[in-house]
Every structure is written in structure tokens, then in C-alpha cells.
Amino acid sequence: MILHPHAKINLGLRILRRRSDGYHDIESCMLPIGWADQLTVTLASGATDDRYEIEGLAGELPIERNLIYKAVQLLRARYPEIPPLRLKLVKHIPTEAGLGGGSADAAYTLLAVNELCHLELSPEQLETLAEELGSDCPFFIQSRPVLVTGRGERLTPLTMPSALLGTWLLVVKPPIGMSTAEAYQQVTRHPEAEGKLATLLERPIAHWRELIVNDFESVVFAHYPELAALRETLYRHGALYAAMSGSGTALYGIFPDNPLSSATATVPSSLAAHLADLPVWLERL
């Protein structure tokens, strides 16, 4: 099987409170986007052990730390009859970006092994398993716009905000990283924001700049003011809304037209010059 685990962006991310289990209650909207890795999973006929091959970003990490390895071990602990597998992952989604690349890889591994080995697990059962791998992992089992609550495991389907239809999404990842754990240690909690995001997303996108908040931005921008400057660059070049995705350091802008096209860009070609040599993703929503 060849699959393409894709990224996500967060439309708003409010940190509500710290929980007794050490996690935080959050509220966010997750939206699937097309930036994707490539995952190949096959039955390794004649082999006695699983084989893993990682290419691209994060390929230098020990395989035991990779979520595709953890996903296979999670399934095999419950279904020891799973035969040896060969997994090849080609990474394209940047790491430490808040785009969910590792979580997507893990979820798609669960999906692939479930189908290849005829485990017949339902999407809901797979989401429950995915929760053991990470808070973002359950989202990628069904990959649809959702309102995320709890510590990230509660997924309520949402209709794609109408304000986004026909707009252009530009995602950029500067060469800066910050761990999620470090960001959570410094973030300010906002319990008063609970239950408001879905309604705010129904407002015209021109209002989002003042209404849709990612609480991690204040922490990350304080450490890396160049990220705040990059967000302002996106606004200066015509973004209707620009924000950080998740707790990582990728930034995205939502534009009325293709921001990298000389025919439609507010300042032709100058935005492309600002983003030269940085990983970028562009798609129409």
C-alpha cells in the first residue's frame, strides 16, 4: 500500500486549563491540507522482523523514536498474528512545525496495517488506538475539519468555514524549532475562551485577525521575534488572516488570490523573494 499522510493547520488554538493528568484542555479547529509525506507498507514475505526505511526530514532519528514504529508495536501488542512488515517513509512535511506530520504518519500506519492485515477495526476503534500515540493522531484517521477539545482527543466534525472557500493557503516553515513541552510550560491559559471558537469561525474572514487566536504565538514570538515579523510580512502582502499552526513554528496565510502569482499578487513576486529557500506549501481551499 502507498499512502500519503498529509498535514493539518490549526484555525485558532486556545489553552483553557491544566488538567490533573498533566495535559491541558484545549479548543481548536483542525483543517486537513495537502502537504504530504509518502508511506509505503507491504507484507515482508519470508522476513522474520519488521524493516523500516526513512528518507528525508527526521531520517536521522533512531527508528524507536519514530511514530510509525510505535504504531506498529501498538497494533502488534494487541494482534500478535500481524506478520513482519516493510515500511518506507519519505518525509516532506517539516518537523517542529505544528503541522502534525509525525502524527499523520502514525495514523496512516494504523490505517495501512488495519487494511493489509484484515484487522477490521472501525474508524472509532482506530481513533482510540491513535490517542495512545499522541493527541493529534486521532484527527488523521478520518481527516476532516473538526473542532478539537479535551486534550485533543475529542473530535467534533465541522463544516469547512464558508469564509475559506475559494481562498488560497500559503504555509511557510522557517528554520526555527521549539518543543511543544517547552511552549506549554510558558503559555497563558484562557478558560474564558471555552466554547466560542466554532461561532467565531462563522464570522467574515476579515474579522479573524482580531478574533481567532493561537495562544502559543505570544510564547513563541517572544523567543523568535522574526516569526512575528514574518506573519506581518504575510499581512503586508495581502493575507486576509495569518497565524502560527499548532505549537510549532510554521506560519500560514490565507489570501483572496494566489499570493505567489505575478498576475494576482498584491506586490508581484516580492513575497516569493521573502520566502526564498524556505519550505513552502501553496494550495487553493
Say whether 70 is catalytic: no
Which residues neighbour 54 within 8 Å (Cβ) at sequence distance 6 or greater?
Answer: 61, 63, 66, 88, 89, 91
The amino acid at 174? P
**Closest by Cα among 66, 35, 38, 37 to 52:** 66
Say whether 257 is catalytic: no
Of 105, 136, 173, 215, the catalytic one is 136
* 3-class SS string, the chain: CEECCEEEEEEEEEEEEECCCCCEEEEEEEEEEEEECEEEEEECCCCCCCEEEEEECCCCCCHHHCHHHHHHHHHHHHCCCCCCEEEEEEECCCCCCCCCHHHHHHHHHHHHHHHHCCCCCCHHHHHHHHHCCCCCCCHHHHCCCEEEECCCCEEEECCCCHHHCCCEEEEECCCCCCCHHHHHHHCCCCHHHCCCHHHHCCCCHHHHHHHCCECHHHHHHHHCHHHHHHHHHHHHCCCCEEEECCCCCCEEEEECCCCCCCCCCCCCCHHHHHCCCCCEEEEEC
115 φ, ψ (degrees, to nearest 5):
-75, -45
Of 8, 70, 91, 173, the catalytic one is 8
Active site residues: 8, 136
